[in-house]
Structure 1
Amino acid sequence: MTDLFAPLPLTRGPAMKNRLMLAPLTNQQSHPDGRLSDEEYNWLTKRASGGFGLVMTAASHVQSVGQGFPGQLGIFGDEHLDGLIRLAAGIRERGALSAVQLHHAGYRAPKELVGTPVCPSDHEESGSRGLSLDEVYQLRDDFIAAAKRAEKAGFDGVEVHGAHGYILAEFLSPGVNQRTDQYGGNPENRARLLFEIIDGIRSACRSDFQVGLRLSPERYEQQLDEVVAVAARTMAEGKIDYLDLSLWDVTKEPMDERFTGRTLMSYFTELPRGGVRLGAAGKVMDGKTAAWVLESGCDFVTIGRGAILRHDFPERVRADAAYESPALPVTIDHLLDEGLSPPFIDYMNSWPGFVADQASGN
């Protein structure tokens, strides 16, 4: 189906009311200890009110040493439960499905936040140390425990963050992962941890708890053919409910010259998916592109910057199929009106050309 506003049934749990999912967007708004802030609550519930079928949190770290940025929402301890319970209820009351993105930054964790970052194996460039085998087991168990925490808080599901060079993508990478045990070496071993986490969540949580997976097939020493193989296996096994591709640009061709001549997305839309739903993110800023993603073979569209610019992106597209996001840069006042707090706007200032210079007006 190519109707953005047709319901999307999932194998487990309730259906998405439409095909538009809020991307897990870094926003740096929570408290330093990982507890939910009013600002983050307001940001996410405003997107639920704006019509998204599924509202996902920003990356939420499953271990304190996995923190990837200041003001990150945490899910590594029961001290986070009160805020998570409030957030899940707020999203549900506004008519959207809810999910927590489970995350560990690996070697990308800033030293000023975590001390010495950790990685599948020693990583000289970042100064990260390799995990012991027992620590790999603990990492697996902490992802599973975080999913249980999300379930207890009342979320409809979780998304496992296997993208963007964070720790699960580091395990997948033949360049980063230099382990010589069962979690390193050949592609099957490097993917072992990811599949053990998915299996563990599926076993530990209730039968209708939704599990998604985010993958990015390029950058951070990922190999496109290996990521395609991981995607094919996850969909064939049917243990996840949706696969969320982070492509940076849904229309782009692969960077790897061996695979050019067609879109990067097409390598995934051609895979048998059974009951697993497939979606993609990457510069979807208007209704026409969102519809094109479905026409090109996806089941849903993940909206990032378009949702920052307008909390009600879905409702605007519903009213006008030709809707386009506001032109960049936008003013601070515009972002405040759309529910971004000053810390989030400060973060957006690091994105070239996104926030207008108030002094110059440009």
Structure 2
Amino acid sequence: MTQDAFASLAAPLALDRGPAWANRFAVAPLTNMQSHPDGTLSDDEYAWLVRRAQGGFGMVMTCASHVSQEGQAFSGQLAAWDDRFLPGLTRLASGIRDAGSTAALQLHHGGRRADASLSGVPVLAPVDDPAKGARALTTAEVERVIADFVAAAVRAERAGFHGVEVHGAHGYLICQFLSPRNDRSDRYGGSFENRARMLWEILRGIRAATGPDFQLGLRLTPERNGIPLAEARALAADVLAADLLDYLDMSLWDAFKETYEEEHRDRLLIDHFTGLPRGATRLGVAGKIGSASDAAWCLEHGADFVLIGAGAILHHDFPSLALADPAFRLAHPKPREHFVRESVGPAFLDYLAADWDDFVV
């Protein structure tokens, strides 16, 4: 870690639109299961996110918020598919802004990973998937889901968020469309161009429907979802060059790893993306960034900012701790009392204890 890279972590990050972020640390969009069963904001979710803004993160992003009723993928998921959710979204955006951070709402649709027992409506996906109980969206339904993403972004702007991030990663609906497994026969399947069409129409639609200072981000993941690295890199290059995004969030799972694909192991996975021309679009990376030196290393390798997941759960003030001590590094597991002090609500804490290895004592 060079001194320059460490110092740059504290530098503001100017974006093409909207406010500059106070530093290079962002809260990763984390499933936390703390909203009410109907998708409205709870006090626990409000406290969890606002506490991170108070802890010094330059940008605070919500969990994946579903834009269509049928898109709900997990219990306690924040919803953005109807105006009934505006009061809670407005309260949340205001709390994050008042704490001095930039506020972003992540927009999501579960696709075949949605849960009909939670949403109360059938599961829809790019293609039929009997094993998941999902049927293929009609062309008209694809167009409706695109409109749902745009409407949710407009709703987020009305609520006072500085911007939104479109969730195109981790095997959810947009990622399912991007996959070569999407062999639809209409204009939304088959070729790489067709498989990416839904994403492009969402991005263009949001940009056209929101104001000139509204920030637009996109989360992509290059591995583990059936998408070849060459296609992931080509898509990233295209969106970086398109002047639609303010930032691209690459979820690498592990920011320090090699690619799984043998033919591309000439360089680290992060380097396949930080080397792309990006114009004014900022590039962030996520994946096992657990120390000040980890974050600085990512900036040394060409990232503009880092997204912090586990660190944000363990320490609401991760940026302050990292910037105060170049040797700072996460240590876990921690007792349940530690997470309570860090404003992790009971539902989130139970999820962490059950599903996160070596995290909660």
In the alignment, which residue of structure 2 is the partner of 1:138?
Answer: 144
C-alpha separation in 1, matches of 2:33 and 2:227: 27
Cα shift readout 1:76-127 (whole Å, capped 9, x = no counterpart): 0111000111111110111100000000011111232235311111123322
Corresponding residue to 2:338 among 334, 338, 355: 334
Q: TM-score, normalised by structure 2?
A: 0.97
* Letter in structure 1 aligned against 2:130: E
Q: Name the counterpart of 1:119.
A: 125
Which residue pairs with 2:42 in the alignment?
37
- Percent of residue pairs identical: 54
Distance in 2, Cα, partners of 1:92 & 1:322: 30
Where in structure 2 are the equivalents of 1:134-173 lying within 5 Å?
134-173=140-179
Distance (Å, rounded) in 2 between the aligned partners of 1:156 and 1:60: 16
Q: Distance in 2 between matches of 1:202 and 1:184?
A: 23
Please give the secondary structure, in 1, of the residue aligned with 2:256: coil
Distance in 2 separating the partners of 1:34 and 1:124: 27
Amino acid at match of 1:348: L
Gaps in structure 1 of 5+ consecutive residues? 357-362
Following TM superposition, by how much is the alpha carbon of 1:223 offset from its aligned partner in structure 2, in angstroms? 1.5
Partner residue in 1 for 2:183: 178
SS in 1 for 2:106: strand
SS at match of 2:176: helix
Question: 1:7-46 maps to which residues of 2 (within 5 A)?
Answer: 7-46=12-51
Q: Which amino acid aligns with 1:229?
A: A
1:12-45, Cα deviation, whole Å (9 max, x unpaired): 0110110001000100000111100000000000
- Shift in Å at residue 342 of structure 1? 0.7
Output the CA distance in 2 between the equivalents of 1:140 and 1:116. Answer: 18
124, 130, 135: which one aligns with 1:129? 135
SS of alignment partner, residue 125 of structure 1: helix
Give CA-to-partner distance per residue, 1:175-234, whole Å, 9 cap, x none.
Answer: 2x1201100011010000000000000000001100000000011212211111111011
1:222, 1:95 → 2: CA distance? 38
Q: Shift of the alpha carbon at 1:4? A: 0.2
Q: CA deviation at 1:307?
A: 0.5
- Residue of structure 1 in register with 2:348 after alignment: 344
Say whether residues 1:246 and 2:251 are aligned partners. Answer: yes
- TM-score normalised by L of structure 1: 0.96
Partner of 2:86: 81
Deviation at 1:328, TM superposition (A): 2.1
CA apart distance, 1:310: 0.3
In structure 1, what is the Cα distance between the partners aligned to 2:74 and 2:228? 26
Matched residue of 2:306: which SS?
strand
Q: Distance in 1 between matches of 2:186 and 2:261?
A: 29
| Alignment-derived partner of residue 4 in structure 1 | 9
Superposed CA RMSD in Å reads: 0.9
Aligned residue for 2:267, secondary structure, equals: coil
Deviating beyond 3 angstroms after TM superposition, the runs of 4 or more aligned structure 1 residues are none
Unaligned runs of 5+ in 2: none
Distance 1:347 1:49 in 2: 24
- Match of 2:298? 293
**In the aligned structure 2, how far is the partner of 1:20 from the partner of 1:353?**
24
Task: Report the CA distance between 1:329 and its aligned residue.
Answer: 1.5
Partners of 2:23 and 2:75 in 1: CA distance: 32
